[in-house]
Amino acid sequence: MNKKSIILLKTLLLSTSQRNIYRYSKDRKKRRRVIGNAIGTVILYALLMAYCIAVCIGFGTMNLIHAAPVMCALVISAIAFVFTVLKTNGYLFHFKEYDMLMSLPFETRTVAGCKFLYMYCKSLPWYMSIAIAMMVGYGVYARPPVIVYPIWIILSVLLPVIPMLIAAFLGFLIARVSSGFRKTNLIQTVFTFAIVIFSFSLRFILEDLFRNNKVEATLQTTSQITGHAAVFYPPARWFADAVIRLDILSFLLLAGGSILLFTVVFLIVGKSYRNINSALKSHAAAKNYRMTRQKKKKVVWSIAYKEFKRLTGSTVYMVNGAVGMILAPLLGIVTLVVGFDRILTLVVHDAPLNAYMMQPAIPFIIYFFIGMMATTVCSPSLEGKNYWILQSLPIEKKTIYQGKMLFNMLLAVPSMAFSTLCLCISARVSVPETILFLLLGLALCSFSTAWGCVCGVRHMRLDWENEVEVIKQGSAVLIYMLPNMFVVMGLVVLVVFLGTRMSHVLLTVILTLIASLLAFLCYLRVMALAKK
């Protein structure tokens, strides 16, 4: 890297530094937000490191600690690849400060390379937390020479580069091919949904391993798989050889290969970088487009349609805002195929519960997914620096919020109805109770929508630079999600208990009235906030 590249990278890092916000901002809310984010991040790092150390303990106990370096390299490489695939569209292409950066006296490949390095630096703490934790576990059981530790750390810094470059180049190819099409984020969205669904299913896979005493066999198999994977993925083999056998050639291959691949990739990317970003910032038009009579819509429905376009135009927003709407119908379909009784047995194990006792909890089980995230939590803040445009339009704030709430209802209610019907059919719920469960689900969706809008408006943040700050890390999201999820889990237990003491019909009617009242109060609160 030359001096200009270092200056540009340093500027990019400082412009988004949470430390600078804490040092120089006079806004107490922003300073508290920085502290809260730091505490949450440290907790996540600690949990990840504890998990990695536990993996090393398992390998060490089974005398398979020699597989730890390869496992470390594969885990870091896999996470780096996935993270980069998900972030490429927002960091390398179609980013907000593109016009400003391209007007500076830098070569195109320098700008692209610095954006890549910026993405690398932002993710590096995650990779190093894995590397250091597994290094500690490896050191306890293998007791290697002292020289292994600095080699491990140096190569761990370089390990994510090659998989990130591969993922970035794939993102470049996808952007290059699809830059003339309107839906450029479809592949990323499908890929992300697949990862999320796999993560949810992973819990049951791990649980099955421990319950059926398959841990030892799994560790043996994992050791063999990592050995075979290292053959097909040379960087993992180079890392393991450099650490275990102190092979200088492997060290140089990993270091030199990372630098060489970086140079080649951004030499290629730099030639088409301007064209791709220009195409992504414009809109494709169909060749056979014809001007027809435009339909007149109500303002509320137009705002709802605008929210739909905003959701489908962002991979991060779609995954976080619609993941529950996808998981709930999947649960319903699986329940129809497998059976409510078998799934209940899998989840509660030997607890004295049956399908009839769990019937009143069906609406809350569905709501656990549907209410996981409401689009109304993020949508007010996502207006960002364009918020002044909405304020200048001859539209009342309450109409804008009503349109945002309407879209969330249109997104949540069909998913809730389908999922509830699937679970009711599988659990053999009577028709009157099924209708009441649907009404309760509708009331819960209304509450989720209104309460999410209260959080979104009350804790609106418009000064974000990356939409991830609002969708995943915003105060409104945390205030909405954490209490909502814990309360729902408690309600499932409470409803099952009350269902053994009173009629399911009466219990559902009472809960529907309570949920409807809370939804109405939250709606009134939104209307009150709209007047301020």
Predicted confidence band at 211 (pLDDT cuts at 50, 70, 90)? very low
Residue with tokens 């990356």: 466
Checking if the pLDDT of 197 tops 90, the result is no
Checking if the pLDDT of 122 tops 70, the result is yes
- Per the CB < 8 A criterion, the answer to whether 155 and 77 are in contact is no
Burial class (CB in 10 A: 0-12, 13-18, 19+), 71: buried
What is the reported pLDDT for 525? 92
- Range in 11-25, 89-103, 198-212 the model is least confident about: 198-212
The span from the CA of 359 to the CA of 265, in Å, is 56
Predicted confidence band at 193 (pLDDT cuts at 50, 70, 90)? low
Mean pLDDT of 170-186: 56
CB-side neighbour CA atoms (13 Å) of 250: 20
Comparing 37 with 60, the larger pLDDT belongs to 60
What is the reported pLDDT for 519? 93
Mean pLDDT of 239-246: 87
Of the candidates 317, 297, 474, 398, which has an alpha carbon nearest to the alpha carbon of residue 390?
A: 398
Of the candidates 395, 339, 514, 523, which has an alpha carbon nearest to the alpha carbon of residue 444?
A: 514
Structure tokens at 378: 């993020």
DSSP assignment letter at 293? P
Checking if the pLDDT of 290 tops 70, the result is no
pTM of the complete model beyond 0.95: no
Share of the chain above pLDDT 90, in %: 14
pLDDT tens-digit profile of 465-503?
667 667 766 778 878 877 777 788 788 888 888 888 888
- Per the CB < 8 A criterion, the answer to whether 189 and 319 are in contact is yes
What is the reported pLDDT for 299? 81
For 334-343, the CB contacts below 8 A with 24+ separation are: 335/422, 335/423, 335/426, 336/422, 336/425, 336/426, 339/426, 340/423, 340/426, 340/427, 340/428
What is the reported pLDDT for 181? 46
Mean pLDDT of 48-75: 83
Checking if the pLDDT of 220 tops 60, the result is no
**Centroid of chain to Cα 452:** 18
What is the reported pLDDT for 231? 60
What are the E-state strand segments in 321-479?
none
Checking if the pLDDT of 43 tops 70, the result is yes
Residue type, 54: A
Residues contacting residue 82 through CB under 8 Å, at least 6 positions apart: 167, 195
Checking if the pLDDT of 89 tops 70, the result is no
What is the reported pLDDT for 180? 47
Residue type, 245: R
Checking if the pLDDT of 179 tops 80, the result is no
Structure tokens at 244: 């275990």
Checking if the pLDDT of 192 tops 80, the result is no
Burial class (CB in 10 A: 0-12, 13-18, 19+), 357: middle
With residue 407 as reference, give the H or E element that holds it.
helix 397-426
- In SS3 terms, 187-240 reads as HHHHHHHHHHHHHHHHHHHHHHHHHCCCHHHHHHHHHHHHHHHHHHCHHHHHHH
Q: Is the dihedral of CA 298, 300, 301, 303 positive or negative?
A: positive
Checking if the pLDDT of 418 tops 80, the result is yes
Checking if the pLDDT of 349 tops 80, the result is no
Predicted confidence band at 171 (pLDDT cuts at 50, 70, 90)? low
The span from the CA of 227 to the CA of 237, in Å, is 9
Checking if the pLDDT of 170 tops 60, the result is yes
Of the candidates 453, 439, 419, 413, which has an alpha carbon nearest to the alpha carbon of residue 511?
A: 439
Checking if the pLDDT of 14 tops 80, the result is no
Checking if the pLDDT of 530 tops 70, the result is yes
Checking if the pLDDT of 213 tops 70, the result is no
Of the candidates 122, 87, 127, 95, which has an alpha carbon nearest to the alpha carbon of residue 111?
A: 95
Structure tokens at 306: 């605008």
- Per the CB < 8 A criterion, the answer to whether 459 and 379 are in contact is no
What is the reported pLDDT for 194? 56
